[in-house]
Amino acid sequence: MTASQAILKGLACDGGLFMPTELPKLDLTMKELAGKTYQETAYEVMKLFLTDFTEEELKYCIEKAYDSKFDTETIAPLVKADGAYYLELFHGSTIAFKDMALSILPYFMTTAAKKNHADKEIVILTATSGDTGKAAMAGFADVPGTRIIVFYPKNGVSRVQELQMLTQKGANTSVVGIEGNFDDAQTGVKKIFGDKEFAKELDRMGFQLSSANSINIGRLVPQVVYYVYAYAKLLANSEIANGEKVNVVVPTGNFGNILAAYFAKQMGVPFGKLICASNDNKVLYDFFRTGTYDKNREFILTTSPSVHVQDDARTLERKEKHMEVRLDEVVHNAEDVAELEIGTGDFISFDPMFVYTESGFIKSRHLDDKASVAVLMGVLKDMAEQKFVPEMTVKLLISNFEEVGFGASWVPEDVEELLAVDMGCVGDDLAGNEFEVSICAKDGGVPYDYDMTNKLIQIAKERKLGYVVDVFPHYGSDVGAALKGGNNIRGALIGQGVHASHGTERTHVEGLKQTLLLVEGYIGMEKAE
């Protein structure tokens, strides 16, 4: 298979990556490369891999990619600070190092299509953990003969990264948020590539798939360039002697960047150690150390895990001093933890999917909404089994607009009282916990109806339910949306306590039970013995 065919195809049929049969050696010495521009260096490196591209084709791709879209003429400046040298790869249009490779991939792709007389529209499927998505969309935006679809973990990228993708212009760009983490997104893309029946259907409709991830050799080759260029610049600036070994440190997530450094070393660049730097979400470090790749790993919790409670939850840096470990057991002090035989140095694993522990904890994403719907389904079940007919007309409204702020902005005209079942916030300066039902007196938007709230408190007292009364300063509910929508209603808010809201959420079955019993008490059901 030729290089252009591999770029077009993106991923091998068996799910593997296209790689050169052997790694080439540089034609020029590092001394000869020292006097060249970034674009000239790019040609000298890329021609060794993309052997079926003509000189004219390759120089055309390089010229179009590395132009005025970069805010510095040198493309990738090498700067010195605190005794170390830094290759600045953030001067592209999206301020991500991914711009270096993704600026040229669209030109590789369209050139490869012409070379291979491809008459089908190329659909780029890409998974991202943040940076790749925007950079790829920006690179392929409005490129003729292509479409790009980016998949990202809905709760696994920063808000800035998400907005960068959602606001990307281009008639041929699409972005999809998925449930799960980056591995789920990447696996999904690979499954699509491996679906032969789907491929036949696409072929019939005039489409062919490719990818802009590091799984595409057209992404990897451009990354080799800046390692060759960096060493050549050190030599040109007399910072090192010719042949002197240099260690390379690369922040790494999915290994594509450091792999390019390895390629450069094998091509003859005098590198010493290749050092992979990782943050606390150190999946590769753990893999190398243990030999086990944990695809169900979860991000580390911060000490301010809830946007509904902590002011700094959206901006807190992921540093060790800000991290906490949350035990799925009922503990009150260090002695309780010790009795569970949990101590310093123990290994911890995280599971982002639904978990129901033996001690009654329930963990899941989006648990505030899912747990509340489960409570209401439980009320309906009890009503049916007890053949209970309430004196008041009871309507259940389940909205999928709560998270975008619309919530129950529309309610039926005959609704007089709206009892929102959502969640109780758990955190600093709040009374709530995961084992009780929270009755909200006021949230960040509106105070709740005095009579309804007092009625709920009285029912909780009479039935000896576990409850707290709280104020949620960072929170808004369906009741607030209904009032802002102009509905003439009275409203109240209750919910089971949820820890780490909008993070790796957790509640307890006892909190669900107390919430269910309070709802049943409010509509007049007899207390179950």
Count CB neighbours of 179 within 10 A. Answer: 14
**pLDDT at res. 4:** 92
State the pLDDT at residue 298.
57
Averaged pLDDT score across all residues of the chain? 86
- How far is Cα 388 from Cα 399, in angstroms, rounded to an integer? 25
Angle made by CA atoms 36, 95, 153, in degrees to the nearest 5 = 130
Amino acid symbol at 270 = P
Averaging pLDDT over each range in 92-101, 127-136, 161-170, which range is the top one? 161-170
203: in domain = no
Bridging pattern class, strands 246-251 and 271-277: parallel
200 within a domain of the structure (yes/no):
no
- 142 falls within a domain: no
Say whether 123 sits in a helix, a strand or coil: strand
CATH number of the domain that residue 391 is part of: 3.40.630.10
Q: Give the number of other Cβ atoms within 10 Å of residue 181's Cβ.
A: 22
Residue 281: pLDDT band with limits 50, 70, 90:
low
61 phi, psi to nearest 5 deg = -60, -45
How many structural domains does the chain have? 1
**Contacts of residue 211, Cβ cutoff 8 Å, sequence gap at least 6:** 10, 11, 124, 125, 126, 189, 193
Neighbouring CB atoms inside 10 A of 315's CB total: 8
The residues assigned a catalytic role are 402
Q: Is the Cβ–Cβ distance between 134 and 165 less than 8 Å?
A: yes
pLDDT at 353: 67
Q: Which tens digits make up the pLDDT trace of 128-144?
A: 877 778 888 888 888 88
Q: Which of 89-93, 105-109, 312-316, 358-362 has the lowest average pLDDT?
A: 312-316
Residues 82-89, mean pLDDT to the nearest whole number: 90
The pLDDT of residue 212: 74
Better-predicted residue by pLDDT, 526 or 384: 384
Residue 286 confidence (pLDDT): 79
For residues 137 and 176, the answer to whether their CB atoms sit within 8 Å is no
pLDDT the model gives residue 155? 77
Distance from C-alpha of 283 to C-alpha of 253, rounded to nearest angstrom: 8
* Cα–chain center distance at 330: 30
Amino acid at 108: F
Let me know if residue 147 belongs to a domain: no
Dihedral over Cα of 111, 115, 116, 120: its sign: positive
Provide the b/e sequence for 379-390 (b: ≥16 CB within 10 Å): beebbeeeeeee
Range of the domain at 460: 361-522
User: How far apart are the C-alpha atoms of 507 and 516, rounded to whole Å?
Assistant: 14
Cα maximum dimension of the chain: 90
CB crowding 496-524: b at 16 or more within 10 Å, else e:
bbbbbbbbbbbbbbbbbbbbbbbbbbbee
Tell me if 215 sits within 8 A of 10, measured CB to CB. Answer: yes
Give yes or no for residue 194 having a pLDDT over 60. Answer: yes
92 or 32: which carries more pLDDT confidence? 32
What is the share, in percent, of the chain residues with pLDDT greater than 70? 90
Can you read off the two tokens belonging to residue 147? 């479409």
Q: Cα 43 to chain center, whole Å?
A: 35
pLDDT of 15 higher than 80? no
Residue 104 lies in a domain: no
Three-state secondary-structure class, residue 275:
strand
Q: Using the predicted structure, report yes or no on whether residue 438 has a pLDDT greater than 60.
A: yes
pLDDT at 214 over 60: yes
Mean pLDDT of 203-229: 86
Residue 229's pLDDT band, with cuts at 50, 70 and 90, is very high
Which of residues 157 and 6 earns the better pLDDT score?
A: 6
CA 234, CA 244: separation in Å to the nearest integer?
10
**Model confidence pLDDT, tens digit, residues 324-375:** 677 778 888 888 888 888 887 776 555 556 888 889 999 887 787 889 999 9
Assigned domain for 35 exists = no
Provide the pLDDT for residue 527: 77
The answer to the question of residue 87 being in a domain is no
Lowest-confidence pick of 78-82, 172-176, 292-296, 460-464: 292-296
Q: Return d(Cα 517, Cα 449) in angstroms, integer.
A: 20
Beta-strand runs (E) in 398-489: 417-421, 424-425, 437-443, 467-472
Q: With respect to residue 178, please indicate whether it lies within any of the assigned structural domains.
A: no
Residue 514 is predicted with a pLDDT of 96
Is residue 312 scored above 70 in pLDDT? no
